[in-house]
Amino acid sequence: MAEKPSSSPLVWLVLGVLALGAAGIFLLHPGSPAAPADAGGEKAKPKAASELRIAVIPKGTTHEFWKTIHAGAIKAQRELTAAGTPVSIIWKGPLREDDRSSQIEVVQTFVGQGINGIVLAPLDRTALVAPVELAIGAKIPVVVIDSGLESDKQSSFIATNNLDGGKQGGKRLGELMGGTGKVLLLRYQEGSASTEQREAGFLAAIKEFPGITVISSDQYAGPTRATALTASQNLLNRYKSEISGVFCPNESSATGMLLALKELGLNGKLKYVAFDASDVLLAGLKAGDIQGLVVQDPFNMGYLGVKNVVAAIQGKAIPKQIDTPVKLVTPDNIDQPEIKALITPPLAEFLGEPARP
């Protein structure tokens, strides 16, 4: 004879819990008309926007110019995040500005990691074409800043009008020399599109002064202040008795030349015009060792680079090219508010570094 099922209280309790659970699943199933529209009488919160990872890749990481670009990028990051588009900036570049293979590797690594967007200052106009087009082929928008690339596939190009900046420098030096004498140009580095355009602009402007002869224009400073100092020493030792003017096209070449002029006791005796601003160069301007600095807006360059690459990620139309302003800074206008704002970027606010005096 079969036994009757147990009717102990424990069994009935278990069966009751299972029945209530099944009923709850049925009632709360999204497809059930009895499911509540919201929980606790409040509307469900929308899912937070996912963070966009933006790689900002400079030519180098030591010069003040690149630190200022970094600060501008951080400002854009903060603004976008506060406005509801979370952004994370990843700042990485080669230590030296002649390390093409390192910058190529950085770009390729970010592509492999599936970065959302890239802001790049290519240190070589041709060597970086392939890695940039690799990124674009992987549906990663690229905005090029500072220096051009021999490609039109990037989303945008944001830079100074370097040819015009070089012309401003040449015009200033020609006027300082009174339209007569001999001048030397210390170039920066082969393959750097931005400085090549400045050098071309300088030479074009000097041609407007028939009484001025360019005595040397085929020597290169190299990527650092140290290499620029050596190149400057060689040029000045060779031509110091003949020249009356000098032009250099970027921060490192200009700083190396300034140090060499001081070393040889030629500071203030030769007319000297250069490109870019730094603490050392601005001090030289105030001391009378430099008579003109053609100054870019790297803070705005970094800011616009990040803003525009995020817009490209979001599918928005952005300008194919954006020119950032260039100003000629002289002892006469260095204290004007517009100039002071340009040469004293808020590095402390965005990078925690001391502001320029």
Report helix angle 129-137 to 100-112, nearest 10.
10
Low-confidence winner among 41-55, 59-73, 81-95, 184-198 (lowest mean pLDDT): 41-55
Q: Residue 42: pLDDT above 80?
A: no
- Are 155 and 233 members of one domain? no
Task: Residue 233: name the closest of 180, 282, 275, 184 by CA.
Answer: 184
Is residue 182 a part of any domain in this protein? yes
- Are 171 and 277 members of one domain? yes
Instruction: Kindly report the CATH number assigned to the domain that includes residue 313.
Output: 3.40.50.2300
- Are 198 and 229 members of one domain? yes
Is residue 270 a part of any domain in this protein? yes
pLDDT, tens digit, for every residue of 281-298?
A: 999 999 999 999 999 999
Query: What band does 343 get if pLDDT is binned at 50, 70 and 90?
Result: very high
Structure tokens belonging to residue 249 = 């096209």
By DSSP bridging, strand 156-160 and strand 52-57 are: unpaired
Q: Residue 22: pLDDT above 60?
A: no
Is residue 137 a part of any domain in this protein? yes
- Are 245 and 318 members of one domain? no
- Are 263 and 215 members of one domain? yes
- Are 156 and 77 members of one domain? yes
- Are 136 and 173 members of one domain? no
Tell me the DSSP string of 310-351: HHHHTT----SEEEEP-EEE-TTTTTSHHHHHHHS--HHHHH
- Are 153 and 210 members of one domain? no
Domain limits for position 120: 52-160+297-324+346-351
Q: Is 348 within 8 Å of 354 (Cβ atoms)?
A: yes
- Are 185 and 269 members of one domain? yes
Structure tokens belonging to residue 258 = 């300034």
**Number of domains the chain contains:** 2
- Are 121 and 200 members of one domain? no
Is residue 273 a part of any domain in this protein? yes
- Are 91 and 171 members of one domain? no
| Torsion angle in degrees (nearest 10) through CA of 311, 349, 106, 221 | 120
pLDDT, tens digit, for every residue of 131-187?
A: 999 999 999 999 999 999 999 999 999 999 999 999 999 999 999 999 999 999 999
Task: Residue 181: name the closest of 210, 152, 157, 153 by CA.
Answer: 210
